[in-house]
A = this chain, B = another copy of it.
C-alpha cells in the first residue's frame, strides 16, 4: 500500500474512508476478503479457526502485494460430515446457501463499484467454495462485467497453495487427504504458529482418521463423526510445521496473485 498511508494497518476496517478513497484512486487497488466459518474444530481448537486462518493468510498476502484486507466473512455454509464433521454439532453456525451467496454478491458489488480493481477471496472453510463462486458470478452479472473486463475477482482456498514438498514435511507418514483435514495437523499446526494462546493441545484427542463413505447421507448418521469432532487427529502438530505451512503458502499465494493481476511485489 502507498507509503503515504497514515496508518500501519492493512485492515480495511481500521482505516478511514478518505484514506481509502485516495487509495482506490491509484487504479490498482486489490481488496482481499478472508472467508471462514464458526464451526466446531474439536476440543483443542477454537470455533473461529477457519476465519482466523484465512484472515492471517490474506493479511500476509495483502501486506506483500500492497492490498487491503476486508473484514472476514465470519460465518460459513453448513458443515458437511465428509469435510467438517457435520451440521448437527453444537458450535457450528450454518448459513443457508442463499445467505452466503447474497453476502458475497453484495460485498463484491460494493467493492468493485466504488473503485477497487480486483477482489481476492481467500477461503478457509471447504464447504463455502461453490457458494462464493455463485456470489461472485451474480455480482459480475449485476455489474455487467464479462470476459475482457479490467476488473476481476479471484477465488481460492488457501490449502490449494500447500506445496508437495511442504506436505511431505508436515505429514512424514503420508498425507491423509484434504477431505479429512478438519481439526487435524494442518489447522492445528497453523494455529500453534499463529495463535498459540487459542490452542489447548492437552485437550486434543488421538484417534484414527474418520472413515467416511463415498456418498453424503442426509440426515447424517452422527456416529460416523469421531466424538472429538475432528476427522483426523492433530497428533504430530507443532508450531514449526505451522510456520513452514504459513510461510510457504503465503509466499506462493502472494506471488501467484501478484503475477496474475500485475501487482508489484
- The interface of chain A, by Cβ under 8 A from chain B, is 6-7, 11-21, 24, 38-48, 51-52, 70-72, 74-75, 77-78, 80, 87-99, 101-103, 105-107, 109-111, 114-115, 120, 127, 129-131, 133-134, 136-138, 140, 145-149, 152-156, 160-161, 198, 200, 203, 213-222, 229, 256-257, 260
Most buried by B among A114, A215, A260: A215
Q: Give chain B residues whose Cβ lies under 8 Å from the Cβ of A147.
A: 88, 219-222
What is the bound-complex CA distance between A148 and B218, given in angstroms?
10
Report whether B80 and A92 are in contact in the complex, using a CB–CB cutoff of 8 Å.
no
What is the bound-complex CA distance between A98 and B99, given in angstroms?
8
Jot down 26 A-B pairs with beta carbons below 8 A, ordered by A.
Answer: A7-B200, A12-B38, A13-B46, A13-B48, A14-B46, A17-B40, A17-B42, A17-B47, A21-B90, A24-B90, A38-B71, A75-B107, A87-B137, A92-B110, A93-B111, A95-B103, A96-B106, A102-B102, A103-B103, A145-B219, A147-B222, A149-B219, A152-B219, A154-B216, A156-B216, A217-B260
